[in-house]
Amino acid sequence: VTPGELLCLGSSLALTGLCYYLYKRKARVMARIQEAPKLQVDDNLPALVSAAEGRCLPYVALEGIVLPAQAALTSHYHEGLQGVIQKLLLKEHRLIWNSLARSW
C-alpha cells in the first residue's frame, strides 16, 4: 500500500463521514418537522404563542382558512383554483469583493 493510496482512502473516508453527518443532521430536522403539532388558526392562537417560551413556536403546522388581503389569485392553468401570496421577507447579505476571483 502506497502513501498515495492511503491519502486517497483517508480523504474518501473523511468526505463520506462529512456527508453522513450532514445527512443525519437534516434527517433530525425533518423528523422534528413531521412530528410538529397541528394547530388551528383561531382566537386561541395568539394566547398560545405568547405563552410559549420566547414567544415563538419552533415547528407547527397551522390549519385554517386564509383570507386574501385584497383579491385572491386565480390560476391560469386550472379553473376554479385560487391562492394567496405569503408575506415575503427578503434579507440581503453584505457583499464583499473577492479580488482573487474577481467577483462579489
55 pLDDT band, cuts 50/70/90, is confident
| pLDDT score for 3 | 94
Q: Which pLDDT tens digit goes with each residue over 15-36?
A: 999 999 999 999 998 998 888 8
How far apart CA 47 and CA 28 sit, in angstroms, is 29
46 pLDDT band, cuts 50/70/90, is confident
Please state, rounded to an integer, the average pLDDT across all residues of the chain: 86
- Ramachandran sector of residue 54 (left: φ over 0; alpha: ψ -120 to 50; beta: rest): left
